[in-house]
Amino acid sequence: MKKIEAIIRPEKLEEVKDALGKYGIRGMTVSQVVGCGLQKGRVGVYRGHEYSINLLPKIKVEIVVNDTKVQDVVDMISDVARTGAVGDGKIFIFPVENAIRIRTGEFQEEAL
């Protein structure tokens, strides 16, 4: 199992959620976060000055999936969330040791 953590533009959430739903992803966690990347949170043209860091609102989507689905999910999020402008976001992938459904005690992939 892997956790896919995607930081995306807030205006892309609905589209990403719909794409994941159509693909059959049922469980996900969505948070409102703030962050910055290479441009230190500046939205305009970067003029090469030493700007202080500015944190912009982003959405974090976390999905735990079987290893076999990782590439599909990453491709889907990338396609939907891309505008081509700076600040489109980033995807991080983590190994997941275990998952447990509290109601039933099911674990590993059965718990997803």
Ligand X SMILES: Nc1ncnc2c1ncn2[C@@H]1O[C@H](COP(=O)(O)OP(=O)(O)OP(=O)(O)O)[C@@H](O)[C@H]1O
Q: Which is nearer to ligand X, 4 or 89 (CB)?
A: 89
Give contact residues for Mg ion (rule: CB under 5 A). Answer: 37-39, 86-87
Residue 12 binds which one of Mg ion, ligand X, none, with CB within 5 to 8 A depending on kind?
none
Q: Which is nearer to Mg ion, 55 or 100 (CB)?
A: 55
Residue nearest to Mg ion (CB): 37
Dihedral, CA of residue 91, residue 107, residue 30 and residue 74, to nearest 10? 30
Pattern 26-45, ligand X, x by CB under 6 A: ---------xxxxx------
| Helix axis angle, 70-81 to 13-23, nearest 10° | 150
DSSP per residue, 8-60: E-GGGHHHHHHHHHHHT----EEEEEEE--TTTT--S---SS-PPP-PEEEEE
Q: Is 4 in the site for ligand X (CB under 6 A)?
A: no
82's CB contacts (< 8 A; 6+ apart) are 88
Q: Is 91 in the site for ligand X (CB under 6 A)?
A: no
Which residues form the interface with ligand X (CB under 6 A)? Answer: 7, 35-39, 56, 58, 86-90
